[in-house]
Amino acid sequence: MSTRNIRNQGLLILILFLNVVVDQVSKLIARREIDYYEHIPLIKNFFTLTKVENTGAFLSLGDNMPYPLRLVILSGLPIIVLGFGLYYLFSHKNLPKSMQIAICFLIGGGIGNLYDRIVHGSVTDFMHMDFKIFQTGVFNFADISIMIGVGILLVQSFRQNLKNDKKEEETIDAAPEHNS
């Protein structure tokens, strides 16, 4: 393995690690310092802290499922998906850097929430934003990591589509005209 590949893999592992650590440290602080449903305004009433435990998935989906089913769907399935994501990330060396970074954010966020679900039985959420015309659910840094990963993938996909469209136009413009 070349020095460049080792450095690249080290950087990917660092990004994964930092995503999980920031998430877990922030949740540890939230668990210790914020009471359940306490409302702590940080930026007027736009950005507040309030601690909730989410035993379901995104926006508490699956919260009312029987425990064995919830265990399989919300812990077993993510373990498989995250394992595949790690395999994909480290086995496909030619992925664009932005895609590698996006996958690191997705996996790092997934690991942070999965760790909570396995160790604590629920995911600690503690941040909330109110934009007046709509507001977010309560979320955590793992959720932010996942959204950043999705955002990077969307931007990359949009850029790739623009590149493909431009190449297609150049191909059409370069093609000789046929007179019928």
φ, ψ of residue 57 to 5 degrees: the values are: -100, -150
Q: Quick one: which H or E segment has residue 14?
A: helix 3-33
103 half-sphere exposure, CB direction, 13 A CA radius: 23
Distance of CA 69 to the CA centre of its chain: 24
φ and ψ at residue 160, rounded to 5 degrees: -65, -40
Task: Indicate which residue of 125, 130, 165, 173 is catalytic.
Answer: 125
Known catalytic membership, residue 173: no
Considering the candidates 35, 63, 130, 143, report the single residue annotated as catalytic: 143
Q: Is residue 85 within a helix (H) or strand (E), and if so which, with residue range? A: helix 77-91
**143 a catalytic residue:** yes
Q: What amino acid positions are annotated as catalytic residues?
A: 125, 143
